[in-house]
Amino acid sequence: MTVDGDTLWIRGEKIRVADIDAPEVTDPKCASELALGRRATARLIELVNLAPFELHAWPGRDKDRYGRKLRVLIRNGKSLGDLLVSEGLARTWVGRQQPWC
């Protein structure tokens, strides 16, 4: 089950897609962030249901401050997060959130 464009549940564990930051859908700062966040969420759902993928640990950290497992989603050697970034639905994670509005 997907929570938003960079968070999902897998086998009972909440997973944070560690290599990206997607717009918020729960507490967006503006209407355009919500709209883009909904598109990112829908695309992540599509990508994870398309074919099997692997979960790779984020170097140096297992969980974030909210207790979510930090993982990179890999299919055929490529990051699904990078695909969302290339489609304009997320940003590469730089260590802190940046505004979407």
Element spanning 1, H or E: none
What is the reported pLDDT for 24? 94
Give the separation between CA 58 and CA 19, rounded to whole angstroms: 8
63 has pLDDT over 80: yes
Q: How confident is the model at residue 97 (pLDDT cuts 50, 70, 90)?
A: confident
**CB neighbour class for 58 (10 Å; exposed up to 12, middle 13-18, buried from 19):** middle
DSSP strands (E only) in 1-101: 2-4, 7-10, 13-17, 20-21, 54-57, 69-75, 78-79, 91-92
The yes-or-no verdict on residue 1 having pLDDT over 80 is: no
Residue ranges of the alpha helices (H) in 6-56? 31-50
| Mean pLDDT for the stretch of residues 4-13 | 94
- Architecture of domain 2-92 in this structure: Beta Barrel (2.40)
Domain boundaries, the chain: 2-92
Tell me, what's the pLDDT at 2?
A: 73
Which band of pLDDT confidence, cut at 50, 70 and 90, is reported for residue 74?
A: very high
